[in-house]
Every structure is written in C-alpha cells, then in structure tokens.
Chain A
Amino acid sequence: MDVLSNLALGFGVALTLKNLAYCFLGVFLGTLIGVLPGIGPLVTIAMLLPITFGLDPVSSLIMLAGIFYGAQYGGSTTAILVNMPGEVSSAVTAIDGYQMARQGRAGPALATAAMASFVGGILSTLLVAFFGPLVGRWALEFGAAEYFSLMLMGLVFSAVLSHGDLVKALAMVAIGLLLGIVGTDVTSGLPRFSFGIPELLDGVGFTVVAVGLFAVSEIVLNLARNEKVEVFAKDVKNLMPTWADMKAAAMPTLRGTALGSFFGALPGITASVAAFSAYMLEKKLAKDPSRFGHGAIEGVAAPEAANNAAAQTHFIPTLTLGIPASAVMALMLGALTMQGIQPGPQVMTSKPELFWGLVASMFVGNTLLLILNLPLVGLWARLTQVPYRWLFPAILVFACVGNFSLNNSAMDVYLCAGIGVLGYVFAKLDCQPAPLILGYVLGPMLEENLRRALLMSEGSFAVFVTRPISLAFLVVTALILLAMVLPGLRRRRESAVEASAG
C-alpha cells in the first residue's frame, strides 16, 4: 500500500543516527524545559528556534516537533505535581492530577499521564499517516456556522454535567467569559475592557490566567491553612499505577484519543477544547461523577490522551493545507520558512522525505518520551516531599519567569499576581476554577464565530440549520438538553441498566 511505502521512506529518514539523535534531543529538551512550571511549549520552541537554523530542514523539523510534544509532556508533569499548568490543555490535567499528588498518588498520576499520552500520540499519528490529506480536506468544510454549533454543543454539554452549585458554576463561567473578551474585538476592531492599557489590547494570556488561578492561589491557600503540614504528601505510595488503575484508565484513554484527534484536525480550535471535552465526557460516563475534582484517575488519562492526540493531528491542517492550527504550528511553519522552504500543502508531494520523516519521527519520539519519562516518575514524585519553604518560592519564581518570557512584559506578571488573589477569593467562596477556564476558552470563540456566521449570512440565523454539519451538532445539542429536562427518562434508563445488570 502507498502509505506503507511512504512510511517506510519516513522511517528510513527518521531512524538515521543523526535524526534519531535530534529527535531524542528535541524530546529531552522539551521535557526538561516543559517541566519548568509556567513555561509551556510555545515559549520553549520560541526560545530554542534559533538553535535549529544551522540544521538541515528535516532534522530541524523533527527536533522542533520533539520539543513541542516533549514540552507538552513536561507541562503535565508540573500540572500534576505543583498545580501549575504550562498551557491550557494541562490545566484540565491539573484538576484531578494535582489532587492525586496531594493524596500521595503522584506516581500513578504521572505514569498514567505518560501512558495515556503515549497511546494518544501513537494512535493519532496513525491517523495522520493514513488519512491526513482526507481529514485535511474535510476540515475545510468547517466554517463559522459549524464552529459555532460545535462550541455551543460543548458549552451545553459541560453545563449539563456540572455538579454542585449551579449558580456558582454559572457565575464562574460568566467571569471566564469576561476575562476572555478582554482585548481587541476581532469583528469590530475595537478594544474591550482594556482600560486604555496597551498591554491589554491583546487580551489576558492563557498562561497568565492558569498560573494565577491554579498555582499562585494554591500557594496562598496552603500558606493560609495548615502551618503544620510541611509537604504536599507525607508519604509517596506505590509509584506505578495498580492493575485497577490501568483498567480504569484504559477506556478514558481511548475516548480521549478519539476526541483529541477530531479537535486537533480542526484549524479553528485550540487543543484545550479537546482536553476539556474529554474530561467532561468522562465525568458524564462515570458511575460516580463526584469523584472528579478529587483525584479521579480518568480525569488524568482522558485529557492527557486527548491533548497529545490533538498535538499530533494539529500537523494535519499544518502540513496538508499549510494552515497552522495553533501558535506553535505557526512557529514551526516560520522555522521552515527560515530554512528557505515554502511551507504548504505542496511540501507533502515535493518533499516527501520531510513529511513522512516527520510522521515517522512522531512514532519514534513518543516512544522515546515514554522510555524517558517512566523511570523519572519516581524522581518527580519525590518532589512532592520537598518542604513548602523551598518549593513555594521556587514555584513563584518560575511563574514570574514563565509569564514574563511570553511577551517580555512585566504587565503579565502583575496580572498573574492579581488573578492569583482572585483565585484565592474563589477558593474561599468554594467556587471551582474549571467553569471559569471553560468560559474563558470557549466564550470568545463562540462569540467570534456567531458574529462571523451572521455577518456572512446577512443576519440570517437559518445558516445554522441549513448547513448539514452545523445542523448535526445542533441536533445533538437539542438531544442533550432534552435528556436534561427529562430527568425521569434518565432515571428510568438507569434503573433499566441496573435491572439488566442484576
């Protein structure tokens, strides 16, 4: 088969000693820098970009890609250990991963994250290899109306699933929306909530929100509550997941991979949406959803698989259409341009060794990451036993460095501190940060696509139901809503399940 011979060509390129070395160097550097809290893949690649200028294009792309998914790996390590996500998608991992670490289960959490990422990475790379061009063409079908309906489905889905105080959750979504729309409005070009501060014209960055909300506020909370407890976890229990853990994580990993691969292929959607959807889906499917937020292993496996799967399928629009699906992908295309290669769809045919070499290197790199990370789990897990008085100042320093280095802007550091205070207040009021992040991520995309769809349809709402893909999403949304307003239906179904099980 064609793909197989192409893959053979790719492995021929990726498995040369030189490219193997660059792939290893990439994932190693990525993991290393990604592990520094607050420094995500974007900053890592931006910093290391100049190193690759001296390399040949294939090697440099292999290394950059390695840095990218390596840093994503490292980012979840800090999300789990110190509640400091390096990027949006690991913010989801932080929710349950950090709770696992607090319970002394950092080892299983890290190992689960590593294995889920591996599975997600390998399966979605297969998708890239076999269906890349096909999926790329399909992604073109997504316009403003389709994106809007898809986001609406996501938002409704997660609203239905929220447990606990609904009013508080809605309030947090609203605050997230407000934070998300700070900056220049795409449709009108006018600034909103920027208060005349030029730094706010581009909005409040995700790292700023996540690090402030999760890491900074967590540190303040810890300082405020137990003076006696000196470390996160007194004793680190078994390092590797138990058989029961693995079984609990298996299906979430596969479902996460499927969702991640889907969202990653759409150029208009950030990987965070994939991780969020995977998390929400698991919460919905769980027998006891109340465990989520308190260290549920499914809450680590699903978003990790999803975010790594999305990281690989992000390459589909980038390489088959020449349309970068994220800032990191744009950076990679920039790196190719620096090499004198005109990026775009023609790269696949004109430089097959580049495309297939990269695809093959993703298999190699994901495997290397697993080999690299599993033995390190013990070392990282022990980090949870470092006394607070050492750990906290270090985390704060990294948080500042990470936030500053994104734009070389001190404003981001102040904002992060301010959001940290907000996060502390939220925690005291018993408000969960997850709905806020959801509003922050989905809100602006929802608004932008709604307005664009209406602008393009001259104000006619019919566009959402006349376009088939959009209609399909709306129908599913309606079904979800129906299931919610008819709780009797759900109860009956549950008792039916119990009856058949019994």
Chain B
Amino acid sequence: MNRRIARAATAALATLAFAIPGLAQAQAGYPDKPVRLIVPFPPGGGTDIISRIVADKLSTTLGWKVVVENKAGAGGTLGLDAAAKSKADGYTLVMAQTANLSIAPSLMSGLPYDPVKNFTPVTLVDAAPLAITVGASSPIKTLADLVAAAKAAPGKLLFASPGNATVAHLAGEYFQKVAGIKYTHVPYKGTSQALPDVISGRAAFFVASLESAMPQVKSGQLRAIAVTSAKRASQWPDVPTVAESGYAGFEAITWFGIAVPAGTPDPIVARLHTEIVKVLAMPEVKERLGGELTTGPAAFAALIKSDHDKWAGVIKEAGIKTK
C-alpha cells in the first residue's frame, strides 16, 4: 500500500519536474532521506563496531542520517543477499568483508549473489591481520619453533581456529602449504570457545584476528608469535610477520569494505567514496580502524579479485568441503 503510494508520488513528481533534469537533481540533493547501512553480522561484533563508527561519523559531521541495520545469518550471506536485492539508488550500503566477497563464491555452490556482478565496491574501511598465538606456557616461542614442532611430529600438532572456512582457518591451511608441514585443524564455534583450550595448551596454537586475541595477549595468557599481514601491525611492533620469518610474500588479512548494489549511479558512488574517505582520515577514527589502506573503488575491486583467487586455490588444495 505504502509502496504503491510512494511509487505514484514518485511518478507524479517526475512528471512535474519534467523540465528539470530529474536524475541530476536527485543526486545533487543526495541524500535526502535516511541511508541504511546493512551489517551482515549481529550487533556488538567486530563488523558491527566498525560499521557504527563510520555511520556515526557520517551522521555527526555531514548531518546524514545513516541507520545501521543488522541482518545476520549464514556467515553474512543473508545480509549481502538483502543488499544485492535492494534498490540501487544509493540509499542502501553494505559492510562486506573477505568472507562474503572473496571466500563465499568458492565455498557455497548456491550462493544467492554474485560478488562481482551484483555489487559496486565503494571503499575499503579496515583491514586487520590475523595473529598466530600460543598459550603462555607453550615451549613454542617463534614461528620457526612452530614449524620445527610440526616437522618433528607430522599431523600431531593441533591448530585451533574460530571456525571452518573462516579466513583464520584458510590462513592456517595456507601456511601449512607454504611451509610444507602438516598439522591437525580443530575448528571451534568462534574465538571465545577456542580460547580456554589454547590458553591451557590443549591446542598447540591458534590463528584468529589480531583484535580478538588482543585481550589475552595483553594480559599474558597468550603469546603472539607472528602476524599474517605484509607489514608488522602497528599495535604490536615487536611481533614479526610470517613473511619476514622466511616465507616472503605470505599475506592473509581480513578486510572490511563498503559496497553498494550494482547499478548505483556513479556520481553517488563517487560522493560516498569521498565522504567515507574523509571520515577514515579523521584522527579519532584512524586510531580505531587499521592504518594505511588503498581505498579507491578500483583498488578495492582488485583486492576482492586477488583474494578470491588466492583463497579458491587454498580451499581446493586443502580439500575443504564446499556447501
């Protein structure tokens, strides 16, 4: 009913405004109603926190009304699908991440959206390395120790991850391949379920986002032995990267970025990009969201593509079962 009225009103307005170039006008006035930012994960989680920081700054500095809408489920697939099926008018944004745009296509045969065809990337917002950690009392002190331990007892070392086919799991598989070693993967339902086993040493090592392992590392329950980004993490300047520990070129990160449904007018995409980049440059935002990013739509699209190829290869080689 409402929609029909709205549609009729839009049609009437369009007729009235025949003399004015309607579309251009609409873009000049963008946004003239609330913009919704779909977060494909539940409130309070990492993706939600990042999204709310950006939404809050867009609202307070520009006077936009950006509403965060949590649409969680199926590893973010449901939220992405909802965004893909929304009107491409610039009033629906989605906070997507590696799992949704680069991993899901290789993992789920019935993925309801196409990451490339259904979305236009706007900008990267945050990129976070993974941390390889061990329990504080573990004899493993460095990545070299870990490799040596795995070589001494092939397949015996237990590798804990926050879940099957997460970036953390894939990074662990990827490292196994790169280092030519073999260990046993033990998946958990999220970081919090894995922590007791890792802290107590029942699992030999743990791969998870740096952010999620941070509290335990800070309090001395876990020890970080490497990060998986190309450069050292600003939070942990003393922790070496996997790449500098003898595996040059190794990189595994979780990134977060804003995309819009494909077909959103270019001027609106450009406007969104400009404003969000401005937000990201604010010192108080920079402090919370991770560091130097190449943020342009083209760079973002290239990252989606290159990560897709990398993880597709790992999934195939590790024999991870697809849904």
Q: Which residues of A contact B (CB under 8 A)?
A: 46, 49-50, 53, 139-144, 184, 186-191, 196, 198-199, 201-202, 267-268, 321-325, 327, 330-335, 337-338, 340, 342-346, 407-409, 448, 452, 455-456, 458
Contacts and interface: CB of A to CB of B under 8 A. Distances in A.
Contacts of A340: 288
Interface string B194-213: 01110110110000000000
Given A190-B321, A407-B71, A342 B214 contact: yes
Given A46-B70, A321-B195, A198 B77 contact: yes
Contact of B44 (A139, A331, A448): A331
Contact of B202 (A190, A407, A456): A456
Contacts of A323: 192, 195-196
B43 A46 contact: yes
B52 interface: yes
13 contacts: A140-B199, A142-B196, A187-B164, A198-B78, A199-B78, A201-B75, A201-B323, A322-B215, A330-B44, A333-B44, A335-B44, A345-B221, A346-B219
Contacts of B22: none
A338 B50 CA distance: 9
B4 interface: no
Contacts of B219: 322, 344-346
B216 A202 contact: no
Given A199-B73, A331-B44, A345 B216 contact: yes
Contacts of A331: 42-44
Given A198-B78, A323-B192, A448-B189, A334 B44 contact: yes
A354 B188 CA distance: 30
B221 A268 contact: no
Interface in B39-66: 42-45, 48-49, 52, 56
Interface in B90-121: 110, 112
A184 B49 CA distance: 25
Given A144-B197, A189-B320, A267-B193, A46 B215 contact: no
A322 B196 contact: no
A426 B221 CA distance: 49
Given A202-B73, A321-B195, A342-B214, A49 B44 contact: yes
B99 to A, nearest CB: 13
A139 B219 CA distance: 17
A344 B195 contact: no
B49 A334 contact: yes
The 8 closest A-B pairs by CB, nearest first: A344-B215, A189-B164, A334-B44, A331-B44, A322-B215, A201-B74, A345-B219, A198-B74
- The residue in A139, A452, A455 that gathers the most chain B C-beta atoms within 10 A of its C-beta is A452
Contacts of A49: 43-44
Contacts of A345: 215-216, 219, 221
A338 B215 contact: no
A185 to B, nearest CB: 8
A330 B195 CA distance: 14
Contacts of B221: 321, 345
A107 B34 CA distance: 46
A143 B156 CA distance: 18
Given A46-B70, A331-B44, A456-B158, A141 B52 contact: no
A330 B45 contact: yes
B186 A455 contact: yes
- The residue in A142, A188, A334, A458 that gathers the most chain B C-beta atoms within 10 A of its C-beta is A334
B197 to A, nearest CB: 6
A26 B68 CA distance: 23
- The residue in A49, A335, A337 that gathers the most chain B C-beta atoms within 10 A of its C-beta is A337
A79 B196 CA distance: 34
B42 to A, nearest CB: 7
Contact of B43 (A144, A334, A344, A448): A334
Interface string B281-322: 000000010000000000000000000000000000000110
Contacts of B251: none
Contacts of A330: 44-45, 192
B163 interface: yes
Given A324-B192, A334-B44, A334-B48, 11 more contacts: A143-B202, A184-B164, A189-B165, A191-B323, A268-B193, A342-B214, A346-B218, A346-B219, A409-B71, A456-B186, A456-B202
A198 B112 contact: yes
B82 to A, nearest CB: 8
Interface string B171-199: 00000000000001011110011011101
Nearest to B169: A189
B81 interface: yes
Contacts of A324: 192
B196 A409 contact: no
B321 A407 contact: no
Interface in B225-269: none
B165 to A, nearest CB: 5
Contacts of B216: 321-322, 344-345
B112 A143 contact: no
Contact of B323 (A50, A190, A322, A448): A190
A332 B197 CA distance: 23
Nearest to B199: A140
Contact of B186 (A199, A268, A337, A452): A452
B80 to A, nearest CB: 10
Nearest to B323: A191
Contacts of A448: 189
A199 B72 CA distance: 9
Given A321-B221, A343-B215, A345-B221, A189 B196 contact: no
Contacts of B200: 140-141, 143
Given A139-B196, A321-B195, A188 B164 contact: yes
Contacts of A190: 321, 323
A461 B203 CA distance: 18
A11 to B, nearest CB: 26
B184 A455 contact: yes
